Amino acid sequence: MFKDGLLADEVIFVTGGGSGLGKSMSLRFAELGARLVICGRREGILESAAQEIEEATGSEVLALPCDVRDLGQVEAVVQAGIDRFGHISGLVNNAAGNFLAQTETLSSNAFRTVVDIVLTGSFHATLACGRHMIEKGRGTVLSITTTYAWTGSAFVVPSACAKAGVLAMTRSLAVEWARYGIRLNAIAPGPFPTEGAFSRLMPPGIEEAAIRKIPLRRFGEHQELANLATYLMSPQSAYVNGEVVTIDGGEWLNGGEFNHFTSLPDEQIDGMFEQLRAATRKPSK
Ligand code: HXC
């Protein structure tokens, strides 16, 4: 789908690039020639991911521990990337935090923790890279948001608020920074299995029901998301700006009034509809 060396001119900073979807995207970018800066809170995991990606692709990876909630730490990583590679041309705001909870039980700190990682963290990385990209006159920023950024969702209020903010930041800066040659886009994934997300968001026994909600009847594959991210980070998407691309097998559209009937067997659907039709049929004259 992509030609070799598509990202050879790119240096891409991926927050949370040592695990989960961040690692899958990083690997794909490196396969296509990008040099990488990856950060995360767990140094060991980060270093082994960097080594794995370098060995698999031959691309250089700079891995540095960093908590995106701290602007100083993010700025230090961005500066280290620039010192090592000469510039940073792309940023993927991927680092996230989330958990399921009944909102009335949350502490202020619980809300703040998720918002700080997701929204403030994305702002920090965008700010630190953006200042450098403005100087260079080019840059691409991709943020991983979610479909409930616009629908909202029960039991993940801090994450929904934060992801909605990331989407608003994306669209605002897509206009404000276009004049500096910087594009900002977002991806809204549905469920893609990762240890980080599924251990917090997929209660045991719920997987089958979760799959039934998805019109395509399966979870996403990492490669599918990584390819979409590659397109949006590459010069091939040069005219796409301020967009959010959903990749969820149709899941979010399936929340409508009658869509849940699709999880019933065909005969049952036919039977239900026929019953209603019979009950409302006009009497023949
Ligand atoms: C209620 C909770 C909680 C829970 C933590 N807290 N977990 N409250 N229910 N399950 C509260 C704590 O009690 C504390 O408040 C505050 O949150 C901070 O918790 P810490 O554990 O001290 O924070 P920290 O160690 O920084 O961990 C951050 C985290 C954690 C977000 C809580 O889950 C994490 O590190 N996550 C990173 C990876 C991750 O979540 N990945 C999934 C992203 S998936 P008090 O008041 O007690 O101090 C995603 C995709 C969504 O976003 C789309 C799906 C379709």
Instruction: List the CATH number of the domain containing 232.
Output: 3.40.50.720
Tell me, what's the pLDDT at 1?
Answer: 85
pLDDT at 94: 98
Average of per-residue pLDDT across 151-158 = 94
Q: Are 204 and 232 in contact (CB under 8 A)?
A: no
Q: Tell me the residue range of the domain where 41 lies.
A: 11-280
Residue 264 has pLDDT above 90, yes or no: no
Q: How far is the CA of 103 from the centre of ligand 1 (A)?
A: 13
6 domain-assigned: no
Q: What is the pLDDT of residues 191-224, one digit of tens each?
A: 999 999 999 988 888 899 899 999 999 999 999 9
Give this prediction's pTM: 0.95
Tens digits of residue pLDDT in 13-68:
999 999 999 999 999 999 999 999 999 999 999 999 999 999 999 999 999 999 99
Do 238 and 208 meet the contact criterion of CB atoms below 8 Å apart? no
Is 70 exceeded by the pLDDT of residue 263? yes
| Residue 30 counted as domain residue | yes
- Protein residue closest via CA to atom 14 of ligand 1: 110
Decide if 222 is inside a domain: yes
Whether 148 is catalytic is yes
Q: What does the mean pLDDT of the chain come to?
A: 95
Asked which of 104-108, 126-130, 139-143, 259-263 is least confident by mean pLDDT, the reply is: 259-263
* Contact residues of ligand 1, CB 6 A cut-off: 96-99, 101, 106-107, 109-110, 113-114, 117, 146, 159, 190-191, 196-197, 200-201
Question: Strands across the sheet with 11-15, in order?
Answer: 61-65, 35-40, 11-15, 90-93, 139-144, 182-189, 244-247
Kindly give the distance from the C-alpha atom of residue 125 to the centroid of ligand 1, in angstroms, as a whole number.
20
The residue from 148, 180, 231, 239 that is catalytic is: 148
Q: How many domains does the chain have?
A: 1
Measured from the Cα of 98, ligand 1's closest atom is: 40
In a domain, 235, yes or no: yes
pLDDT of residue 285: 67
Q: Tell me if 5 is assigned to some domain.
A: no
Mean pLDDT of 233-238: 97
With a cut of 80, say whether residue 259 has pLDDT above it. Answer: no
Tell me, yes or no, whether 86 lies in a domain.
yes
In a domain, 2, yes or no: no
pLDDT at 272 over 80: yes
68 alpha carbon – ligand 1 mean position (Å): 14
* DSSP result, 115-181: HIIIIIHHHHHHHHHHHHHHHHT-EEEEEE--THHHH--TT-HHHHHHHHHHHHHHHHHHHHTGGGT
Query: Could you give the percent of the chain with pLDDT greater than 70?
Result: 100
Q: Which of 6-20, 117-131, 162-176, 203-217 has the lowest mean pLDDT?
A: 203-217
